[in-house]
Structures are given as structure tokens and as C-alpha cells.
Structure 1
């Protein structure tokens, strides 16, 4: 079992298989050129899988595949099947922008993937194009439909932004509710790679908008999830992720691995330790020591909150958020 210095059990690993992305979203990396890390710098799926086995043996119970956009990496379903075959009971999920999902959902499900998270920031094609800097909405919604058809459980994420999509909060919730998709509204996380024009909505503003249309009760936090949950009178449940609140990090149980082998203890911070050399040498003992050290030094909380309202220099496209 992996336990950090604040007595939090760390049993959730987010694995970025690529930093490449086919979107250039305003809140992530709107000005980054379309480039990629040389293939030789990336861990192969076999090398990533070797570390997955170490992590699972150490107590990791949930693995989420992320990017960039993970579906840009060829043969992703084969990597998923490696993990599933090793531990069928692992909670195996993926975060995707869904642009390529229509043609891959069945293969992913057959390989052992159980759940996906998809960003649905708008239901308007022109706004989607403005956010992603690409005409994307038709493909995204078709991908969501296909994922539901093949039996994948789907969650949706929305980042409400003033002057962009804040007027669609009710519409996105209704879209998700009609399809039995759980939606989480995410407060915009300030980072140095995002557009300087973005102004996000705080949770109190979100709740005021939702309360004008619906009645709901406050459920608080659910285990180690970062979402603050609410239940509507008909039983539908939605969440709000509030990284600026003091209790956001209180139950954090996750660490992140980049495609190049950097193991990161916190989404906010740049600090990382590399497992690449140990994994490429097949040195399981050394890789396990790095894992335990990263967990041991995991910080208590991020620095988005407080009086300063600091901006993170973390490149989210390397860690999948």
C-alpha cells in the first residue's frame, strides 16, 4: 500500500500516453505549435506496462489513460488489454476529447476499458470551434453516442467560461441528464499556457445559475473524488470541481506519469522524478523506489487558493489534467 506523509492512501495512477493533442483549447494550450516529442523519448507500451505492474502490485486500484489526446497514440487498445489481462479488477478509465472515439470505442471496450471522461464545454458548433480552434463538435457528440452504444460508462466535464459558454450550463446539464451521463463543472484552473482572455466561473456563480432552474441537495465529497456533489430532486447527480478551495486536496489519492516517464505527485507543481532509466533497464526495484519516494514527497495541497491566487506553470497537456 502506498501512503503519503499526510496519511493519504495513494491508489490512483493517471498515465499520459502522449502529450500530442488535435485540439488547441483556450484553457489548455491555445498557442502551442502542432509538434510532438520524438518517439525515442517516449516509453513504449511495454515499458509503460512494466511500471503499471509495479504500481498495481504496490496497491494502485485505478488507472486512467490520458494525454494530450490518448487516441492519437496508435494501438492504444493493445496497451489497455495488457493492463486488463494483468488485473481484470482494475478500475480502468480514459480521458479523451472524443474526436476520434466513434471509430475506436468498440475496440477500447473489448480491450477492457470501463469508463471514459469527455469534455463537453458547449453544444454550439461555433463556440466549440472557438474553444478548440477546430471544427470538432459533430465528431465529439458522435463519439459520445458510440461510447454509450457499446456500453462504456461516460462522464462529462465542462469548464464554464464567461463570454464563451457560461450561458450553456443548463443546456449541457440537460444534455447529460437525458443520456444518464454524470456531468462535472470544473472551475477554470489558471495556468501559464492558457489564454490570458479566460475568466472562469466560481462554484457559487455556477450554483446560482443551476439553482434558478433546479432544486438540489448538497452531498459533499464522495470518498477521494475531487468533486463536490449535488443531487437533484429526481435523483440526478452532478459535481463541481473547486481547485481553489482548501478541501480540494484533502483526500487526494493520485499521482501522474507522463509519456516520457516523469512521475508527478501533484497536478499543480512541476516537481517530478523520472522512472525512465530504471524502466528501460528493466530495474523493477529502482522503479519501485522512485514510486515510493514520489508518494512520500507528495505535497499537502496546491497553491491555486489563498490570497495570491497563484498561476500554475504546469503543462496540463503533459499530464491530462
Structure 2
């Protein structure tokens, strides 16, 4: 079992299989050029698996595949199948923008994927084009439908921004409710790559907007990032507050980037390079680095009011 210095059990790893993405969302990577990554800069699936096998043996129960956009990397389903075969009880999840899901959902489900989180920031075609900087909404909605159809457990993620999509909060909730899936509204996390001028809608404002249409009550917080709320009719939605200390208290995760960096905290600059150990097949060294990362995981994130993160979220999977 992996425990950090604050007695939190670390049993969840987010793995970014690529920092590339086919979207250019204004709150993430709007001005980043479409780059080709040299093969030698990125961990192979085999190298990632060697590390994850070690982590699973140390007690990791959940692995979430992220990016960038993970589905731009070829043969992801093969990687998922290898992980699923190694441990059938592993909670295997994927975070995606949904663009390729219509073609990939069934293949991923058959490979062993259990859950998928899909970004959906708007139901309006013109707003989606403004946020993503390309026409994507129809394909994303088709991907959501296909993921539900093949039996994946689906959650929707919505980053709420003032003056852009904050007038769609109840519409998005109703869409998710009609689909029978959970939606989580996420407070925008300030970062230096985002377009200037984007303003966060905080959880209080989100709840106030929902209260104009629905009555709800807060549920007891479990060991995860979201706070969940239940409507009178039983539907559950969530809110993620990445700036709050409460978000950190239950943090049970670390992150592995495609380039081989282990990151103990999303909003923290410190990281540990594990690539060399993996390429030398030095599993003992890799295990030492893993334990060091967990041991040195900070109590809380390094966010401060008006502070802007220099972390590239597309490299760490958010």
C-alpha cells in the first residue's frame, strides 16, 4: 500500500499517453501549435505498463488514461487490454474530448475500459466552435451516445466560464439528466496558456443558477475530487473545486506524463523523471522514485488567489 506523509492512501494514477490534442480549447491550449512529438521523447506503452504493473502491485486500484487527447495516440485499445488482462479488477477509465468516440467506444469497451469522462462545455454549435476553435459539437454528441450505447459508464465534464457558457448550466444539466449520466461542473483553473480574460464561475454561482430550477441537497463527500448533489427526483450532479483545500484533503492520486514525469500534485511545479529508470529496465529504481513521489506529495496544492499556474494541463491530463 502506498501512503503519503499525511496518511492518505494513494491508489489512483492518471496516465497521460500523449500531450497532443486535436482541440484547441481557449481555457487549455489555444495557441499551442500542432506539433509532432519525437518517438524517443515519449514513453512506449511497454514502458508505461512496466511502471503501472509496479504501481498496481503496490496497491493502485484505479488508472485513468488521459492526454492531451488520448485517442489521438494509435492502438490505445491494445494498451488498455494489456492493463485489463494484468488485473481484471482494475478500475480502468478514460478522459476524452469525445471527438473519436463514435468510432472507438465499442473497441475500448471490449478491450476492458469501464468508464469514460467526456468534455461537454456547451450544447450550442457556435459556442463550441468558439471554445474549441473548430466545428466539433455534432461528433462529440455522437460520441456520447455511442459510449452510452455500448455500456460504458459515462460522466460529462463542463468547465464553466463567465460570459461564454454560464447561461447553459441548467440546459447542460437537463441534457445529462435526460441521458441518464452524471455531469460535473468544473471551476476554471487559471493557467498561463489559457486565453487572457477568461473568468471563473465559482461553485456558489453554479449552485445558485441550478437552484433557480431545482431543489437539491449536498451528499456526503467520498474520497474523490467532486462534491455531489442530489435533486428531489434523485438525479445526481457534481461540482469540482480545484482551488479549495477540501479538494486536496481527499486527494488519492498522482500523475504520469507521456514524457516520463511523475507529478504528485496538479497545481504544483515539482516532478520526478522516471523515464531513464524505465528505459534501463531498472525496476528497483523506478519503485524508489514512485515511493519518493508518494512520500513527498504535498498536503495541498500551491494555488493562491490571483496566482496563475505555469503547468501545461495538456501534458498532465488535468
TM above 0.5, yes or no, is yes
Displacement after TM superposition at 1:36 (Å): 3.2
Equivalent position SS for 1:28: coil
Give, in whole Å, the separation in 2 of the partners of 1:221 and 1:31.
Answer: 37
Counterpart of 1:278 in structure 2 is: 277
Give, in whole Å, the separation in 2 of the partners of 1:185 and 1:283.
Answer: 41
- In the alignment, structure 1 residue 262 sits paired with structure 2 residue 261: yes
Displacement after TM superposition at 1:228 (Å): 1.0
- In the alignment, structure 1 residue 205 sits paired with structure 2 residue 184: no
Counterpart of 2:311 in structure 1 is: 314
Q: Given the two structures, how large is their TM-score scaled by the length of structure 1?
A: 0.98
Within-5 A mapping of 1:1-321 = 1-222=1-222, 224-305=223-304, 308-321=305-318
Q: Deviations over 1:266-294 (max 9, x none)?
A: 00012111111111111111101100000
4+ runs deviating over 2 angstroms: none
Displacement after TM superposition at 1:245 (Å): 1.9
Displacement after TM superposition at 1:220 (Å): 3.8
User: Does structure 2 retain, via aligned residues, the 8 Å contact 1:11–1:60?
Assistant: yes
Q: Deviations over 1:162-218 (max 9, x none)?
A: 111011000110000011110110000111111112112011111110001000011
User: Does structure 2 retain, via aligned residues, the 8 Å contact 1:15–1:65?
Assistant: yes
**Root-mean-square deviation (Å):** 0.8
Give, in whole Å, the separation in 1 of the partners of 2:204 and 2:86.
Answer: 44
Q: Given the two structures, how large is their TM-score scaled by the length of structure 2?
A: 0.98
Give, in whole Å, the separation in 1 of the partners of 2:40 and 2:52.
Answer: 20
User: Does structure 2 retain, via aligned residues, the 8 Å contact 1:18–1:73?
Assistant: yes
Give, in whole Å, the separation in 2 of the partners of 1:135 and 1:210.
Answer: 28
User: Does structure 2 retain, via aligned residues, the 8 Å contact 1:303–1:309?
Assistant: no
User: Does structure 2 retain, via aligned residues, the 8 Å contact 1:13–1:64?
Assistant: yes
Equivalent position SS for 2:15: strand
Equivalent position SS for 1:116: strand
Give, in whole Å, the separation in 1 of the partners of 2:276 and 2:298.
Answer: 24
Give, in whole Å, the separation in 1 of the partners of 2:232 and 2:36.
Answer: 47
Deviation larger for 32-41 or 69-78: 32-41
Give, in whole Å, the separation in 1 of the partners of 2:225 and 2:303.
Answer: 14
User: Does structure 2 retain, via aligned residues, the 8 Å contact 1:19–1:36?
Assistant: no
User: Does structure 2 retain, via aligned residues, the 8 Å contact 1:15–1:259?
Assistant: yes
Deviation larger for 88-97 or 211-220: 211-220
Give, in whole Å, the separation in 1 of the partners of 2:244 and 2:86.
Answer: 38
Displacement after TM superposition at 1:311 (Å): 1.3
